[in-house]
Amino acid sequence: MTTAPRFRFAPSPTGFFHVGGARTALYNWALAQHLGGTFVLRIEDTDESRNSPEWTQGIIDALGWLGINSDSPQFEGPYFQSHNADKHIAAAHRLFEQGNAYWCDLTSEQIQERAKASGKQGYDGHSRDRGLSAGPGHVLRFRVPQGTTIVHDLVRGEVEFANDTIEDFVLLRSNGSPMFLLANVIDDIDMTVTHVVRAEEHLPNTPKQQMVWDALGVAPPIWAHVPVLVNEQRKKLSKRRDKVALEQYKSDGILADAMVNYLMTLGWAPHGDTEIVPWTTMVEQFRLEDVNHSPAFFDVKKLEAFNGDYIRALSLSDFIDACQPWLTASDVAWSPAQFDADVFESIASLIQTRVAVLSEVASMVDFFFLPDAPTDDASWTKAMTPEWAHDVLNECAREYATCDWNHDSLKLVLETIGTNRDLKLGKVQAPLRVAITGRTVGPPLFESIEFLGRQRTLSRIGVALQRLG
């Protein structure tokens, strides 16, 4: 008989949500969905010095954004490791009573000195047989048995560790609080976790944890260590150097689906020649055995390419909805009163193919809502330098005062002005574009002018003419 598998995701609440953690969570979630199991969220807050309660809500929100919904019947938690301290301590004492652990009174300084003197690194097992009991300044250490420990890992195969290379690690701190290694195991046992899927950086901890499982008489879980995510220097993504906050990508305008899809392909690929596939397909196909063994570079460019794809796949109304946060943000160039939702809806389809991240939208449509064209000196210089610029704008102003107001005729007018001077539309449009939009690049000009209206168009041409002198 097989019971439904139970996966767990066990982040520590140390600020924002790390993209590496996001991928690990996604792998666990995909597996839970694929196998009809449970995803258990456990907040590992044993290190009191660096946890903060508001961050756990951040974790839940971030998971929710990724589609790992805490309302789902397959979602369990959050549990807090700190709430289980009693169980951890009880287990530690049981380990002591069984002879699997012993007390030690050495300080870190003393350990270092001994290591220096012996020339060997780490703790040397000095207190193993000293028969110490609990007391102030005493830590409880696990008595690593002789022999070898074999970790059966679903992505790596069998990994063998000689136990004599593993030091007697600390279970309980001198203040009596449990260490991660212990707490982690006790919680996994307590929550009947069957699969531990986590990042590769935990692989060296695994034999230690497995020994604790064994000592407690419980069969260890199925392990799976997925490769870490690295930066361009091939170093593990770090909070200090790298942009790793999921929230940051969200506020830059990365779509959740794009992020999910991209993260899943870091270390794994869906079948076939397309890597942009719906979540349900990934759930169906994802297998731990197919996960790559080597670190994967978190490539923001590729993420944005995925995102552009997802943006273009949105229906127009979904796209418009998705843009709202960036149109109403506090740092936007226009005032709320100046914003015209109808205008935005009218031009949205022209914007949709032109952005890779949603935060780009604002600077692409600002000229519609600002009283005057935005100023961009580089664009101005580039477009207004030709000696014909002034005359073209002048003629434009005259013709646009009376011509039919639709993009076809607006275009035809400028085309004619250009033809008379032997200038292609691609060239003559430049001064007009900058006069109207402020920039040399942007959405299609004549549609934009049409939406802007005759009055404002004429006024902007006037302003530009004046500036040209």
Stretch that binds RNA, among 29-37, 46-54, 69-77, 326-334 (CB under 7 A): 46-54
Q: Is residue 273 a contact residue for RNA (CB under 7 A)? A: yes
Whole-number Å distance between alpha carbons of 326 and 364: 11
Among positions 87, 93, 302, 454, the unique one binding RNA when judged by CB under 7 A: 302
Question: Within positions 318 to 357, which residues make up the interface with RNA, using CB under 7 A?
Answer: 353-355
Could you list the beta-strand ranges (E) of 44-188. 75-80, 101-104, 139-142, 148-153, 157-162, 170-172
Using the rule CB under 7 A, which residue among 114, 236, 398, 456 binds RNA? Answer: 236
Q: Please, are residues 460 and 439 in contact by the beta-carbon 8 Å criterion?
A: no
Whole-number Å distance between alpha carbons of 151 and 222: 9
What lies within 8 Å, CB to CB, of 464 at 6+ separation is 373, 384, 393, 431, 434, 435
Adjacent-strand bridge partners of 196: 223
For RNA, which stretch binds (CB under 7 A), given 326-334, 392-400, 423-431, 460-468?
423-431
Q: How far apart are the first and last CA of the chain?
A: 87
Binding of residue 275 to RNA (CB under 7 A): yes
The residue with tokens 């136990």 is 163
- To RNA, the closest distance from the beta carbon of 385 in angstroms equals 15
* 18 binding RNA? (CB under 7 A): no
Compare residues 120 and 467 and give the one whose CB is closer to RNA.
Answer: 120
Query: Tokens for 169?
Result: 């690690």
Residue 168, classed as helix, strand or coil, is coil
Figure out which of the listed residues 220, 267, 431, 438 binds RNA, where binding follows CB under 7 A.
267
Nearest residue (CB) to RNA, 63 versus 296: 296
From 77, 78, 308, 438, residue interacting with RNA (rule: CB under 7 A) = 308
Task: By CB under 7 A, tell whether 285 contacts RNA.
Answer: no
- C-beta of 327 vs 355, nearer to RNA: 355
Segment near RNA (CB under 7 A); pick from 55-63, 251-259, 337-345, 424-432: 424-432
**Cα 387 off chain centre by:** 50
Residues sharing a CB contact under 8 Å with residue 83, sequence separation 6 or more, in sequence order: none
For residue 227, state whether it binds RNA (rule: CB under 7 A): yes
* Residues with a known catalytic role: 239
Q: Which residue in the set 222, 256, 269, 332 belongs to the binding site for RNA (CB under 7 A)?
A: 269
Binding mask 102-121 for RNA (x = CB under 7 A): ----xxx--x---------x
Binding range to RNA, per CB under 7 A, among 1-9, 56-64, 441-449, 460-468: 441-449
Per-residue tokens: 43 = 């907040």
Structure tokens at 416: 């004619």
Of residues 146-165, those binding RNA (CB under 7 A) = 156-157, 159-162, 165
Q: Under rule CB under 7 A, which residues in 68-97 are in contact with RNA? A: 81
Q: Which of 83, 98, 290, 374 binds RNA (CB under 7 A)?
A: 290
Task: Report, in Å, the least distance between residue 122 CB and RNA.
Answer: 5
Residues 434 and 377: their CA atoms lie apart, in Å, by: 10
Q: How many residues bind RNA (CB under 7 A)?
A: 86
Give yes or no for residue 261 binding RNA (CB under 7 A). Answer: no
Nearest CA-CA partner of 288 in 51, 112, 52, 30: 30
Rounded distance, CA 444 to CA 224, Å? 51
Sole binder of RNA in the list 26, 66, 139, 211 (CB under 7 A)? 139
In 93-109, which positions are buried (b, 16+ CB within 10 angstroms) versus exposed (e)? eebbeeebbbbbebeee
- Please identify, among the stretches 86-94, 223-231, 241-249, 451-459, the one whose residues bind RNA according to the rule CB under 7 A: 223-231
Chain-centroid distance, C-alpha 50: 21
Cis amide bond preceding 78, omega within 30: yes
CA atoms within 13 A on the CB side of 434: 24
- Determine which residue in the list 118, 133, 146, 175 makes contact with RNA, applying CB under 7 A: 175
CA 220-222-224 angle, 5° bins: 130
- 131 contacts RNA (rule: CB under 7 A): no
CB distance 109 to 150 below 8 Å: no
Q: Which of residues 364-403 bind RNA (CB under 7 A)?
A: none
Q: Does 309 bind RNA (CB under 7 A)?
A: yes
Find the binding residues for RNA in span 187-216 (CB under 7 A): 200-205
Residue type present at position 246: L
Q: Which residues between 442 and 461 bind RNA (CB under 7 A)?
A: 442-447
